[in-house]
Amino acid sequence: MKKKLGILGLFVALLTTFNSNANSDKEHVKDHGGEVDTKEEVTEYILHHIKDAHDFHLFSYTADNGERKHIGFPLPVIVWSSKGLVTFMSSKFHHDDSGQHIVNAGGTNFVKLHSKIYELEDGVTELQFDAEHHPTNAHKVLDLSITKSVFGILVVALLMLLWFGGLAKQYKNKQIPTGFGRILEPLVIYVRDEIAKPNIGEGKYRQFTGYLLTVFFFIWISNLLGLTPFGFNITGQIAVTAALAIITLVIYTFKGNKDYYMHMLWMSDAPWWIRPILAVIELAGAFLIKPFSLLVRLFANISAGHIVVMSLIGILITMKSEMTIVGSGLLSFALSFFITLIELLVAFLQAYIFTMLSALFIGMAVAEHDHHHEHDDHGNELPDAEDVRADFI
């Protein structure tokens, strides 16, 4: 209990820190954290939300003296610029997201535009745009910041280490875990028995369960965290899903056996002149289509979920004039409540699908095709469970 109070205290302290840094610069207020009162502002707010952010922003309000206050805390910005590695706190941008506020750090100048950090060319004092609103006198930098998503990833990682590390520790003293571990253990067994074992095969699943379990719980907890009012959108970042999909790609590419590559590059049961064509298709399937399907499915589902939930919450504002605040509030609550229930299911489902498909792809790469077969009376090979599985995948 004391520990929890301590964490809560730290959190409150962080929030207040940010509050004292709160920006009252009225000219930038519109860009980020400004009042949301029209359809356009709702749309912009939603689009802003599904992007990554450089600070942890919970909500904003207008104080009695007309000052706009932001509740949240800044996160460290780490960028690789032309002058080397530069770090500073995101509060230096003063919530500016339109590229107007220039931050001087590490001997060079930075601006933030639509959640991206640009380094201004030498001697430039103001960002200029071309017709399509792209900056002309600044360039992107490698942004290794602890952004909101990275912060969320770290939170998820920490939670996983705490929960499952705790579960692992429980087994030292007893056979059956108690407390929260009792909930986690069946989930672990579920992933092993329902995802890893049937898709990879009895003999080989063990070496991949570590990855599958990690990726399953990472995606699931991230998805669930995205449904909390903290406003994380970790698995809705295409970079995050791409990283996960590429890890799966690397695993099945390096663990693939001879059968897998033979089947991919020179399919023995097809006419010879089709084989090169098939090889091209198979190569594209293995190295592009499979990882792309993994990363886009997760990204699109979670992003769509966030947009739908936020749009339904937005009904509160957009329908205010037609239905009065009570009517639009009730409508928005009812709709967003039920869609959130569906999103809870989607959170699990997407974690399951990603893990299941990863297991399936790994299973295809490591499957044994010419193992010992039982023979029937006429000397024909009898298909066994392994073949059925191989045919199925």
Determine which residue in the list 89, 242, 319, 339 makes contact with other proteins, applying CB under 8 A.
242
Distance in Å, CB of 323 to other proteins, minimum = 33
Q: Does 343 participate in binding other proteins (rule CB under 8 A)?
A: no
**Residue closest to 348 by CA, chosen among 226, 248, 205:** 226
Determine which residue in the list 30, 49, 51, 320 makes contact with other proteins, applying CB under 8 A.
51
Q: Does 289 participate in binding other proteins (rule CB under 8 A)?
A: no
Determine which residue in the list 98, 137, 214, 311 makes contact with other proteins, applying CB under 8 A.
214
The 174-213 site mask, x for binding other proteins (CB under 8 A), equals -xx--------x--xx--x-------------x--xxx-x
Q: Does 150 participate in binding other proteins (rule CB under 8 A)?
A: yes
User: Residue 144 class from Cβ within 10 Å (0-12 exposed, 13-18 middle, 19+ buried)?
Assistant: middle
Cα–Cα distance, 31 to 41 (Å, whole number):
10
Assess contact for 240 and 303: CB atoms under 8 A.
no
Q: Does 91 participate in binding other proteins (rule CB under 8 A)?
A: no
Cα–Cα distance, 106 to 101 (Å, whole number):
16
Determine which residue in the list 147, 318, 328, 355 makes contact with other proteins, applying CB under 8 A.
147
Tokens of 295: 């990363």
Strand ranges (E), 231-285: none
> Whole-angstrom distance between the N-terminal and C-terminal Cα of the chain?
50
- Which of these segments, 233-241, 264-272, 286-294, 369-377, binds other proteins (CB under 8 A)? 233-241
Cα–Cα distance, 188 to 160 (Å, whole number):
12
Query: In the complex with other proteins, which residue's Cβ is closer, 18 or 218?
Result: 218
Alpha carbon distances (Å) from 279 to 249, 252, 257, 272, 284: 18, 17, 16, 11, 8
Residue 56's beta-bridge partner residues?
73
- Which of these segments, 96-104, 145-153, 223-231, 357-365, binds other proteins (CB under 8 A)? 145-153
Q: Does 143 participate in binding other proteins (rule CB under 8 A)?
A: yes
Please, what is the Cα angle at 229 between 223 and 231, to 5 degrees?
Answer: 60
Q: Does 342 participate in binding other proteins (rule CB under 8 A)?
A: no
Which residues here bind other proteins, judged by CB under 8 A? 51-52, 79, 116, 142-147, 149-150, 153-154, 157, 160-161, 164-165, 167-169, 171, 175-176, 185, 188-189, 192, 206, 209-211, 213-215, 218, 237-240, 242-244, 246-247
